[in-house]
A and B are shown apart, each in its own frame.
Chain A
Amino acid sequence: MSNATEAVSSSGGAQKVSRINEVVIRIAGNSQDGIQAIGGFLARLAGRSEQEVMTFMTIPSTISGGPSIFQVRVGSGEVLTAGDDADVLLCFYQHSYEGHINSLKKKGIVLYDSDHVVPKEEWLSDYHHVGIPISSLTVEAIGGTAKDKGKNIYSLGLIARMFDLNVPKLEKLLGERFGGKDVSILNNALAAFHAGYANSPSNVVETFQITDSQKKDGHQVVMNGNEAIGYGLIAAGVRFGAGYPITPWTDIMELLRRELPKYGGSFIQCEDEIASVSMALGASYAGRVAVTGSSGPGISLKTEAIGWAVMAEMPLIVINVQRGGPSTGMPTNIEQSDLNIAINGGHGDAPRVVLAPANVEDCFYMAIEAVNIARKYNTPVFFLTDQGIATRIEAFTEPNLEKVCQDISPDLTPVASHKPYDLAAKDGVTPHVKPGTRILDGKYPIATGLEHDEYGHPSGSPKVHMLQNAKRRKKLQALGATLPLPKIYGPSEGNILLVGWGSTEGPIREAVDRFRAAGDSVSAIHLRHVNPLPNGLENIFSGFNHVFVVEMNDEGLYGIGQLGTILRARYADAKIQGINKTDGLTWKVKEIVELVKAKAGK
């Protein structure tokens, strides 16, 4: 919390009211306590109040139960990350209290359920302890056996009071969430909320008001990365998909299975990963740019068919919500260790496109970009996200949907003749003529995984193989030439350049801000197109003494991580080095700062 000035509380309380620019709240409990729901309400409220918001959560990979946290950062200025340290810690159990007190700033507020938590003597002076018997007060408010279901909403009421949040808007959000067939569910939720809101703990000395943001033009939308991808694909005109359940990709599959049939589309849950990529390829061949997706081992299973898509030159969108690997690995952890398989997975020379959105807004727009690249270049496009971006809730300016929505229904207008693998095609880019299209010269092509001549007829000629390899390569090089160079965050010359990709843009930029505030010469670029890379990165690198590639993957045998290795190979520049970790959590700003200092000091 920062910039405290006094104001008058709209709730009419007698306590001191401070105006703040931002706050970080961490909620810790077990996964069945509905703490993600509280965090989600806070994030959505912030979005609806035109404030910036970002969230971070961890979930255990168990069906029910297990420690879980949700962290939300709300602010009126630019919010880049979910925050390193919390201003407020709400904890339901002793283990949540003891496990997360370290993430609270000194003098921060620890709001604990005194039915379950006994404060520790040695922490009393460092943190402002506020104990409330949340469990028993929830029972008192809504009665009976509902305490585990209601204490999250009771706590939301407490937080609403403490931060002077907009009650009518929260009531409306509760109505949207719980308003259903059974009116008693909503009534219980509202009763719990108001009981929490009415509780004014005697030792809370101060409440807060988050200042309104000034910079926003137009409305905001608030969603998580998975939702942004799902609706981005719908806006892009995707109407067919196939998948298999695996964490954390499943959320996107569930969304598309629910939404696509409304728009005349289908999303099939297949018998396995291979069937799902194959079915999507069949649909793409038939004229729909289809989507499949997975995480972890599921991606490995799909690689043969993706190689086929490269060979047969078929459009396809492959969403990879990365998780910790190899093998079953760490299913609910955040990791960026699938860059290598995305770019190179499978046998043979099989160039394909790899995109990596940097934030939730990017997930929406890059999903559309992915579809258009796949259609234009007839290539599979990997879309790399991770748990960090998949479940992170952000607010962004509402897209101009009239402008971005497109219809990509297949065009079956007869053509005179067609060579799907025409070697004379400019930049190696050939159109895909869909089955159902009459070809007037009567020569119908074959789409095949065998090396082939220009009609797709199998060919064992080494010369044809070399020419077709070149065709598949050249079209991606042509795409690379159209890609914009990433904007440099900070001055274009200096001591250190940080290079990131994917979900880590926020913490990297915040680290740059901290360095620059301390007078250090640090800038950053963020790569959203990772294969092909945009041309001209060497001109950016030349402005810096050090280029540190910040990634959430292992440093690897040669100590430079996955993207680091690619950049080192392409630019043969020893100043390119890696900053890597695989602890399963998104980067904390202070971690980046410390590792950069250590690396630069060497």
Chain B
Amino acid sequence: MTTLEASAKTLSLTKFMAGDFKSDLKPIWCPGCGDFGVVTAITRALANIGRAPHEIAFVSGIGCSSRIPGYTTAYGFNTVHGRSLPIAQGIKLANPELLVLVASGDGDGFSIGGGHVAHAVRRNIDITYIVMDNQIYGLTKGQLSPTSSRGRKTVTSSFGSIEDPVNPLLYVMGYGASYVAQGTPADMTGLAKIIEEGIRFPGFAFINVQSPCVTYGMEDQQLKAHKTNMQSLESIGHDPSDRAKATELAREYGTKLYTGVLYRNPNPPSTYGQGVIERHDALKKSAVPRHEILNRFKPSN
């Protein structure tokens, strides 16, 4: 048994608490920011999952939300604005043993990095994508975001926005995502549950978190309003395996705050990682020993 295997064995017997996944760093977020709740929900989910901190890679882009890896105990990767998804996919493919989480925000995920979402969905690599959607650019002090509603006044839309927002739920549903859920820190138990379920889901999992911005957010986007307005999908009798119904409900993004699992593919499609393994098995026999790799360029007489 190698040292690593021995330590893995010890660790597998260890039970983790949510606190084991928090770090000593003090968040730079404004007091009352929704992201505090998100980090708590994530650490609770990780404690239930039971993987050790060193087996977790936590990737983020840029923005308030993307500070999250610093506030957790895991291998943190605070990357380039908008690029957390491709980086996370590279990590997972290079080491499929790792649990790979991605944190992003509405600007990072659906504006500057929006082009990667469709491809992450269709590639279906087994990672969990958590977007903290607050409908504003908070870190740069209150500019219009891709999910800001039409008419929204911000420092870059003084007269009100004349653009329609992106609908993150419909967007990923449209590209065929197999696990789509939405939560809010106003319901911590529910949020931790959909994150845990997303991590356990075999394939790309998308979780949109309505995470209020206390500084630049609107009154009706705060936790207090969420508590009043949120409606659990379970309570309205939604069947998460019903793709057509899920798509219909996704259209109500921006007008209704549904929480819970919107869509869970009852027959999860094969992941990219599985395809890679099958390809390796099929091609292994055509590999030549290392000292023969240049034989095709040699005299064959």
Footprint of B on A, CB under 8 Å? Answer: 47-48, 168-169, 172, 176, 219-223, 227, 231, 234-235, 240, 242, 261-264, 266, 268, 270-272, 274-276, 278-288, 290, 304-305, 308, 398-399, 401-402, 405, 410, 412-414, 434-439, 442, 444-450, 456-458
Contacts and interface: CB of A to CB of B under 8 A. Distances in A.
14 contacts: A231-B294, A242-B90, A262-B284, A266-B276, A275-B116, A283-B90, A284-B90, A308-B79, A398-B298, A405-B290, A435-B98, A436-B75, A436-B98, A449-B80
B89 interface: yes
Interface string B241-284: 00000000000000000000000000000000000100110011
Contact of B76 (A414, A442, A444): A444
B119 interface: yes
B70 A281 contact: no
Given A172-B300, A227-B297, A447 B76 contact: yes
B285 to A, nearest CB: 9
Contacts of A284: 90, 94
A5 to B, nearest CB: 27
Interface stretch (B49-57, B160-168, B189-197): B49-57
B291 A401 contact: yes
Interface stretch (B3-11, B29-37, B224-232): B3-11
Given A401-B290, A448-B78, A457 B280 contact: no
Q: Is the interface of A mostly helix, strand, loop or mixed?
A: mixed
B86 A261 contact: no
Given A282-B86, A283-B91, A401-B293, A436 B97 contact: yes
A440 B54 CA distance: 10
B151 interface: no
A266 B93 contact: yes
A290 to B, nearest CB: 7
A263 B287 contact: yes
A444 B116 contact: no
B213 interface: no
Given A279-B87, A288-B94, A221 B294 contact: yes
Contacts of B55: 435-436
A444 B53 CA distance: 8
Nearest to B99: A435
6 closest cross-chain pairs (CB), A and B = A282-B90, A435-B75, A446-B76, A283-B94, A279-B90, A286-B94
B140 interface: no
B54 A438 contact: yes
A283 B290 CA distance: 23
A191 to B, nearest CB: 22
Interface string B74-105: 11111110110111111111110110000000
Q: Do most interface residues of chain B lie in helix, strand or loop, or is the interface mixed?
A: helix
B73 interface: yes
Given A271-B115, A275-B86, A445 B94 contact: no
- Residue among B2, B90, B94, B292 with the most chain A CB within 10 A? B90
Nearest to A448: B78
Contact of A438 (B11, B97, B280, B298): B11
A98 to B, nearest CB: 37
Given A283-B90, A435-B91, A437-B54, A278 B83 contact: yes
Contacts of A280: 90
Contacts of B301: 48, 168-169, 172
Nearest to A405: B290
B59 A304 contact: no
Given A401-B293, A445-B75, A446-B77, A439 B91 contact: no
Contacts of B235: none
Contact of B57 (A169, A242, A286): A286
Contacts of A434: 95
B54 A436 contact: yes
A438 B7 contact: yes
Contact of B115 (A272, A398, A444): A272
Contacts of B23: 444
A275 B291 contact: no
Contacts of B92: 282, 286
Contacts of A242: 86, 90
Contacts of B240: none
Contact of A271 (B87, B116, B279, B299): B116
B299 A220 contact: yes
Which of B57, B291, B294 is most buried by chain A, counting CB atoms within 10 A of its CB?
Answer: B294
A49 to B, nearest CB: 8
Contact of B80 (A272, A308, A435): A308
A281 B115 contact: no
Contacts of A219: 298-299
Given A285-B77, A287-B94, A401-B291, A305 B83 contact: yes
A587 to B, nearest CB: 27
B69 interface: yes
Contacts of A261: 276, 279-280, 283
